[in-house]
Amino acid sequence: MPDALTFRYRPAPLRPPRELRLDGPRLWIGEDGPFDLSRVKDAVFVTHAFGDSRMERLDLTWPDTHRAIGCNAGRKGFSDSAEGREHRAAVGAVLRALAAARPDAQVTLGAARGTRWALFCIGIVSVLAGVGIGAGALASGVSGGRLAGVAMPVVLLTVLGVALIAGNWPSGPRRQIAAEELADMIAPR
């Protein structure tokens, strides 16, 4: 890998451009840095698609600080946009530098602990709301037509809650992948 790499991209449509510099195991994010990748204690890669948007983020945690390298862009064509390609190239280079500095480095895929707890709690509330609304409708003796009208939203709310609970169980296993392997998936050489 070349000694010094520089990446410049706009992390979101309304944000100013961000510059990442990578020199061996040292990383600068804008004016912040250098951060020593050999001291990273936790790395998490998160991707979310919602509506017409897509967000990808690499969260790096050191013993004394935390930094995120993220990009928000259109869901369609994220990989084809200049911002998405530059972001993925930057994340791939950071992951390769992390793997060179710490060959045993693993990256967790999916939401971090706090986010998992939040989504898990939203799932609990959704299930309780779905069951509560359904039980309330049945207990109030509403007519069959109104009961049929409330059935679909109640079922959807309950199913959404169950899906959030199952996918974000706080003590469940979190999938991990080697940093080098994830780099090859995100930004092939």
Report residues of the chain scoring pLDDT below 50. 1
Q: Tokens 């296993």 sit at which residue?
A: 173
Predicted structure pTM score: 0.72
pLDDT at 188: 67
Q: Which residues lie below 8 Å from residue 70, measured CB to CB, with a gap of 6+?
A: 11, 55, 56, 57, 58, 87
The model's pLDDT over 98-112, given as tens digits with 9 standing for 90+, comes to: 999 999 999 998 866
